[in-house]
Amino acid sequence: MWGKFIFREIVPQERLVFVVSFSDAEGGLARHPMSPDWPLTMLSTVTFADTGTGKTTITVKWVAYEATEAERRTFEAGKDSMKAGWTGTFDRLDDYLANS
């Protein structure tokens, strides 16, 4: 699978805003390979907040972007799997940072 990220906003140590989509090898938009009703694009906002304890709270907001009603429903129904994916990604980041 290929993915495409188009960054719309980068505020160091504060926020990332980007549009995410599946793509082909050349970077063209593509449908989710296992879900034809998955939105073509999703808007992601990731914020970083210093807790004052030497740790950072990361908040991820992800919404279907320019989607049909059917695509929005499919996206909402898939939120648990996306949460698992983000959690796994951050777990790997924690491991990397702990061993760097």
What residues pair up with 61 in beta bridges, in sequence order? Answer: 45
User: What whole-number percentage of the chain has pLDDT above 90?
Assistant: 71
pLDDT for res 94: 87
**Whole-number Cα distances in Å, 50 to 6, 38, 53:** 26, 34, 8
- Tell which residue, 22, 57, 62, 59, has the closest CA to residue 44: 62
Confidence tier at 20 by pLDDT (50, 70, 90):
very high
At position 99, the amino acid (one-letter code) is N
Q: What is the pLDDT of residue 19?
A: 97
User: How high is the pLDDT of residue 71?
Assistant: 96
Phi, psi of 3 (to 5 degrees): -135, 155
pLDDT at 79: 86
Most distant CA pair in the chain, distance = 44
Q: How many CA atoms lie within 13 A of 8 on its CB side?
A: 9
Q: Give the per-residue pLDDT at 90.
A: 86
Mean pLDDT of 16-40: 93
What is the C-alpha separation between 94 and 90, in angstroms, rounded?
6
